[in-house]
């Protein structure tokens, strides 16, 4: 064996020798995605539940596991193994959202929590152990605190370094069910504890395969190798894995800084029944909300408003802002939510007791700061339009986009100012790049009637014109009137019928015939014939 270059060796040894692993408590909630989904959807704990990610099982509940469901199975296979399986799509953000109260609860009793991933978090145990009288005492406090918020399946491992602590937490599987799920590895005992583990726990598949071929089966075998040799042969990754195997975890517990509390609530006692009362009473709180955000160096660009009523109803809606919310904008949104564009929008029947504001998207104030000479004309636009919106309501000031569709009215989609196209009702925004057979050729008409006008089309003898079941005209159109109060116009030239067959497989589908007519004065019209009735779709005025 060659002697390693002296320059490379001493620092490694020195670092290994002088930096002992941080004494760590690891909190582990097994199957956290499942726990989160059960809580979110209020399902009983013994449900056979799987979470599906891209057609494969991502996580399964204990009941499903008993039926033979495993991670990575295709969903059909899982359904075949377990009848009565409930499958839900996997939502990573749900995990984080539901784990947040757990972290917050732990932070109330001991500082310095590091969330490694939802369901797993690390705490430096030194301080809490001293305060609560020993490591077991501290763990007991954590058990009790989290049981109080309804989290019962919790495992705790205490060891030197996060890696050993995590393995200790997982080792609680070996314990009886009725004792505290706690494994404490005494100080300095980590190498001994980890020694019997297989190499797979390092989660480095390539290294594991290589070491196995070299005849190394357990972490103890791996730890027995010389550190400098491992570094030379396996590089930095290998050296780090080796340190972990020796119980000298290089990672420290990096405590998270609890996020500032940005929500705002206002309670009203007695409840308020009138919108103007509420707007007046809420104005101050809205101002404070915006000021708090500004002090944190943030601005809010998407806001969730929740209104609670006396009878327990909740009206919830997300509002976006083209720039960012100031106090007046917030009050406006609360008001619009109550006014609603239609009755089903909020459907509240009793007075408002509480308004809850949640900033959904916050951005750095610096990104939205006004320039020295203002931010150009757009700022004025937003203010002016916000004024009109506060006069007429959120849905009265619109921008238009062109969507796909055969009928012209379908192709025009109007979106309230400040909303994104994604927020428009999805059924109405159809892909424009699709071919849409039956759409109108030639120049687009300038006037498209939002509600088609009834029309009359007759032939030379005054009989109504229609299309027979074979799609042929009964007679050439000679006169027509567009709209109920229109004079009879002679037809100068015409074309049609152009059949439009929308969703023929669907009982809600429509069968129409479209015509272009030019009257004697040279104005062109677009007419529709549906179910023997004529309508004016558009006018080329």
Region from 108-116, 244-252, 390-398, 456-464 binding another protein, contact rule CB under 8 A: 390-398
Residue selected from 408, 465, 528, 529 as contacting another protein according to rule CB under 8 A: 408
Closest to another protein by CB, 322 vs 464, is 322
Stretch of 50-58, 180-188, 265-273, 385-393 contacting another protein, by CB under 8 A? 385-393
User: Does 444 help bind another protein (rule: CB under 8 A)?
Assistant: yes
SS3 257: coil
Name 351's Cβ contacts closer than 8 Å, sequence gap at least 6: 268, 270, 271, 272, 273, 309, 310
Of the ranges 218-226, 339-347, 359-367, 400-408, which one interacts with another protein (CB under 8 A)? Answer: 400-408
Shortest distance, position 359 Cβ to another protein, whole Å: 26
CA dist 288 and 246 (Å) reads 54
**Terminal Cα-to-Cα distance of the chain (whole angstroms):** 93
Binds another protein by CB under 8 A, chosen from 377, 425, 462, 469 = 377
Pick between residue 428 and residue 520 the one whose CB is nearest to another protein.
520
Q: Please, which residue, 99 or 535, has the CB nearer to another protein?
A: 535
Of the residues 524, 527, 528, 529, which one makes contact with another protein according to CB under 8 A: 524
Instruction: Looking at 196-326, list the stretches that DSSP marks H as alpha helix, in order from N- to C-terminal side.
Output: 205-213, 219-223, 227-245, 275-295
The b/e string for 214-253 (b: 16+ C-beta within 10 A; e otherwise) is eebebbbebbebebbebbbebeeebbbbbbbbbbbbebeb
Alpha helices in 42-200 (DSSP H): 62-66, 75-81, 92-109, 126-131, 135-148, 162-170, 190-195
Residue 446 found at the interface with another protein (CB under 8 A): yes
CB neighbours of residue 383 within 10 Å:
12
Q: C-beta of 534: minimal distance to another protein in Å?
A: 16
Interaction with another protein in 463-492: which residues (CB under 8 A)?
A: 473, 476, 492
Q: Provide the CA 225 distance to its chain's centre, in angstroms.
A: 47
Tell me: does residue 437 bind another protein (CB under 8 A).
no
User: Distance between CA 443 and CA 524 in Å, rounded?
Assistant: 11
> Would you count residue 418 as binding another protein (CB under 8 A)?
no
- Least CB distance from residue 363 to another protein, whole Å? 21
Integer angstrom CA distances of residue 152 from 33, 96, 100, 146, 181: 15, 18, 16, 7, 10
d(CA 283, CA 292): 14
Binding to another protein by residue 147, rule CB under 8 A? Answer: no
493 binds another protein (CB under 8 A): yes
For position 460 contacting another protein by CB under 8 A, the verdict is no
Pick one of 259, 441, 462, 507: the residue that binds another protein (CB under 8 A): 441
- Position among 402, 428, 460, 509 found at the interface with another protein (CB under 8 A): 402
Residue 58 vs 540, nearer CB to another protein: 540
In angstroms, give the least distance from the CB of 407 to another protein. Answer: 12
151 with 181: CB under 8 angstroms?
no
Q: Closer CB to another protein, residue 4 or residue 395? A: 395
Minimum Å distance from CB 35 to another protein?
45
Instruction: Examine residue 424 and tell whether it contacts another protein (CB under 8 A).
Output: no
Cα 14 to Cα 10, 19, 182, 253, 403: the distances in Å are 6, 8, 33, 21, 67
Residue 522 interacts with another protein (CB under 8 A)? yes
Distances (CA, A) of 265 to 47, 307, 330: 36, 10, 13
306: which strand partners? Answer: 316, 356
Nearer to another protein, 181 or 539 (CB): 539
Q: Which of 399, 464, 483, 511 binds another protein (CB under 8 A)?
A: 399
Do the strands 120-124 and 155-160 form a parallel or antiparallel pair, or are they unpaired? unpaired
Q: In this structure, are residues 120 and 166 in contact, taking their beta carbons and an 8 Å threshold?
A: yes
Count CB atoms within 10 A of the CB of residue 57: 23
Contacting residues toward another protein, per CB under 8 A: 377, 380-381, 383-385, 387-388, 391-392, 396-402, 408, 411-412, 414, 417, 441-450, 473, 476, 492-496, 516, 518, 520-524, 538-541
């Amino acid at each position: 064996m060659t002697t390693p270059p002296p320059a490379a060796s001493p620092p490694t040894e020195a670092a290994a020798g002088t930096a002992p692993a941080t004494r760590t408590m690891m909190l582990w909630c097994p199957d956290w995605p499942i726990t989160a989904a059960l809580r979110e959807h209020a399902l009983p704990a013994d449900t056979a539940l799987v979470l599906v990610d891209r057609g494969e099982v991502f996580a399964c509940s204990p009941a499903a596991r008993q039926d033979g469901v495993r991670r990575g199975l295709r969903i059909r296979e899982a359904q075949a193994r377990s009848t009565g399986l409930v499958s839900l799509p996997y939502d990573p953000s749900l995990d984080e959202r539901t784990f947040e109260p757990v972290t917050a609860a732990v932070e109330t009793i001991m500082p310095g929590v590091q969330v490694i991933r939802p369901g797993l978090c690390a705490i430096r145990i030194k301080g809490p152990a001293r305060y609560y009288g020993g490591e077991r005492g501290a763990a007991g406090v954590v058990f009790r605190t989290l049981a109080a918020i309804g989290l019962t399946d919790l495992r705790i491992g205490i060891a030197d370094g996060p890696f050993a602590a995590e393995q200790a937490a997982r080792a609680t599987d070996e314990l009886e069910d009725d004792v505290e799920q706690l494994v404490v590895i005494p100080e300095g005992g980590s190498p001994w504890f980890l020694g019997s583990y297989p190499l797979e726990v390092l989660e480095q598949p390539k290294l594991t395969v290589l070491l196995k071929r070299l005849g190394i089966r357990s972490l103890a075998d791996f730890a027995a190798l010389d550190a400098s040799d491992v570094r030379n042969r396996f590089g930095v990754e290998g050296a780090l894995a080796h340190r972990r195997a020796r119980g000298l975890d290089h990672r420290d517990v990096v405590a998270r800084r609890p996020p500032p509390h940005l929500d705002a609530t206002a309670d009203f006692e007695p409840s308020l029944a009138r919108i103007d009362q509420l707007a007046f009473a809420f104005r101050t709180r809205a101002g404070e909300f915006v000021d708090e955000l500004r002090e944190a160096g943030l601005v809010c660009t998407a806001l969730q408003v929740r209104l609670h009523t006396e009878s327990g109803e909740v009206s919830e809606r997300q509002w976006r802002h083209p720039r960012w919310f100031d106090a007046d904008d917030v009050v406006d949104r609360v008001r619009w939510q109550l006014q609603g564009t239609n009755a089903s929008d909020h459907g509240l029947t009793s007075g408002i007791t509480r308004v809850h504001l949640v900033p959904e998207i916050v951005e750095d104030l610096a990104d939205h700061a006004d320039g020295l000479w203002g931010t150009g004309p757009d700022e004025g636009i937003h203010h002016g339009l916000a004024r009109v919106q506060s006069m007429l309501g959120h849905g009265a000031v619109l921008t238009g986009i062109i969507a796909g569709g055969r009928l012209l009215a379908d192709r025009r989609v109007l979106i309230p100012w400040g909303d994104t196209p994604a927020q428009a009702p999805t059924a109405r925004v159809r892909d424009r790049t699709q071919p849409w057979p039956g759409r109108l050729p030639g120049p687009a008409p300038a006037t498209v009637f939002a509600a088609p006008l009834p029309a009359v089309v007759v032939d030379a003898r005054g009989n109504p014109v229609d299309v027979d079941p074979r799609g042929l005209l009964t007679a050439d159109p000679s006169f027509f009137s567009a709209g109920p109060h229109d004079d009879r116009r002679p037809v100068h030239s015409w074309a049609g019928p152009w059949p439009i067959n929308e969703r023929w497989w669907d009982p809600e589908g429509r069968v129409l015939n479209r015509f272009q007519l030019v009257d004697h004065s040279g104005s062109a019209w677009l007419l529709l014939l549906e179910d023997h009735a004529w309508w004016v779709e558009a006018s080329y005025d």
